[in-house]
Amino acid sequence: MSSRPNQHAMLALALVLAATAAHAQGGQQAPPSSKAVVMKGKAPVNDKVLEVKLPRPKEGDLANGIHLIVLEDHRAPQVTFQLLIPGAGGYFDAPGSVGLASATAAMMREGTATRSTTQISEQLETMSSNVNVGTGMTSLDATVSGSALTENLDKLFDLASDILLHPTFPDEELAKYKTRTKTGLNQNRSFPGFLVQELFQRVMYGDDPASRLLMTPEQLDRVSRAAMVEFHKAKYVPDHAAIAFAGDISYDRAKQLVESKLGAWKKSGAAMVAAKDPPAIGPAKVWLVDRPSSVQTNFIVGTQAIERTNPDYNVLEVMNSVVGGGPTGRLFIHLREEKGYTYGAYSGLSAGRYRGTWSAQTDVRSDVTEPALKDLLGELVAIRDTTVPAKELQDRKRSLVAGFALSLESPQQVLNYYVTSWIYKLPADYWDKYPQRVMGVTAAQVQSAARKYLDPSRMQIVAVGDRKKVEEILRKFGKLEVYDTEGKKVIGVVP
């Protein structure tokens, strides 16, 4: 599971249960209008979508407020668990203490009252196990997760509870953590994929907490041991937490394990905290990070979209699948298979507890920057202006639904559906009815969603490339702002 539940949007894309609405697929299927894909229709396809029944986990509430979710599956002798702690995520860091939540999470495994960081590493790695405490800069939650062979589960959970309840945040380890983290933060600025994502987040959300990607070295410097101790005490509380187990474990055994190791973790009375609406997105512009010596231009083109519980979610999922949700999407077919501009071109919907984004992403060689961007934007026009052909729509919906069978190989993946249900308070039969909802999406709904959400006047073009090669080209697509690789504005209109 992601430590950024707002990424869970992508989850439903890969999976999902097959059921009733099995439409015959027939021999030939209308491909996207491109000679790059030709369906000869001779391969033997079983027209039925395989019906599978998603196993249900057992759930209950413990005395200290923890919600327990267990998906029992004895196929392999291993157990994974994930504890979610709402309110302990980086999203809630105050502007003056950005990075505190991330640093606290990372430092919890750097020493406890009875174990040094080195002892923790030795004990975990001797079992080939892991305990990860983490949160994203835009996450609402912190997570503590781990996995082990069944024979090591007691030892693993003992360690995890020690890390959760008794971290000491040693000063010496904090100094070392800062040194190595700064090297990584510096290193990130050499990667175009990081630079384009960083600027995209800023363009989407301005100064809102949702805009954060990583802390700066200066923010990291401000994090103190005292602040982490205080943060841990106030935020790592069980009041609104959930813990989910998957694998070789029963509900009763999991309950006994949690009660014995986390029974001393007492409710604090803290209120549940919620995300707020991010500011509305500004008018369409073009944004460039000047990265000298680049031989490619990296693009993210996108805008704000919806939160996960928005009723349009399934419609947008289908729309996204048509435009660019994988190698069968139009972006991949046209930009790669037909034109050969790129190794990949995809789109994604990111929907969490605040208004997320829809975006398209590709990396193209510098000398095709202009035609590639034109083609990418052309797909946004097409999905707004033209009804998706019936066969193409049917295929995309079918791929969303039929993929559910594959997820049954992994109890962890099945559990993720139910964790998503818990996070977003989805109806109990949400996943049972998912196939019907997806198969029920119409071409008219897709088009009206595209018109509503893919608004050209709000569509932002973010690029990373060599300014010398691409500045004049990008100016053709709108007002341009230019940044350096440190994130400082070099040139541009005043926002």
**Pairwise CA distance, residues 145 & 131, whole Å:** 6
20 lies in the site for another protein, by CB under 8 A: no
Pick from 296, 357, 416, 421 the residue near another protein by CB under 8 A: 296
**Pairwise CA distance, residues 121 & 140, whole Å:** 27
Site for another protein in 425-484 (CB under 8 A): 484
364 lies in the site for another protein, by CB under 8 A: yes
218 lies in the site for another protein, by CB under 8 A: no
Q: Which of 75/451 has CB closer to another protein? A: 75
Question: Tokens 């509430």 correspond to what residue?
Answer: 61
**Pairwise CA distance, residues 111 & 344, whole Å:** 43
220 lies in the site for another protein, by CB under 8 A: no
389 lies in the site for another protein, by CB under 8 A: no
Supply the minimum distance, in Å, between the C-beta of residue 422 and another protein: 23
58 lies in the site for another protein, by CB under 8 A: no
Supply the minimum distance, in Å, between the C-beta of residue 122 and another protein: 4
Q: Which residue from 455, 490, 454, 457 is spatially nearest to 471, judged by alpha carbons? A: 490
Instruction: Determine contact, residues 464/195, Cβ cutoff 8 Å.
Output: yes
Supply the minimum distance, in Å, between the C-beta of residue 266 and another protein: 31
- How many other C-beta atoms can be found within 10 angstroms of the C-beta atom of residue 28? 12
3-state helix, strand, coil in the chain (%, to 5): 45, 20, 40
Site for another protein in 144-203 (CB under 8 A): 149-151, 176, 179-181, 183-184, 186-187, 189-192
Can you read off the two tokens belonging to residue 342?
């790129």
Q: Which of 24/280 has CB closer to another protein? A: 24
Q: 319: part of which helix (H) or strand (E)? A: helix 313-323
Q: Which residue from 289, 383, 287, 288 is spatially nearest to 331, judged by alpha carbons? A: 383
Supply the minimum distance, in Å, between the C-beta of residue 309 and another protein: 26
365 lies in the site for another protein, by CB under 8 A: yes
Pick from 45, 63, 274, 381 the residue near another protein by CB under 8 A: 45
Of the CA atoms within 13 Å of residue 123, those in its CB half-sphere come to 21
327 lies in the site for another protein, by CB under 8 A: yes
Can you read off the two tokens belonging to residue 429?
């039969």
Site for another protein in 83-142 (CB under 8 A): 117-118, 121-122, 124-129
Q: Which of 291/353 has CB closer to another protein? A: 291
Q: Which of 20/309 has CB closer to another protein? A: 20
Instruction: Determine contact, residues 111/275, Cβ cutoff 8 Å.
Output: no
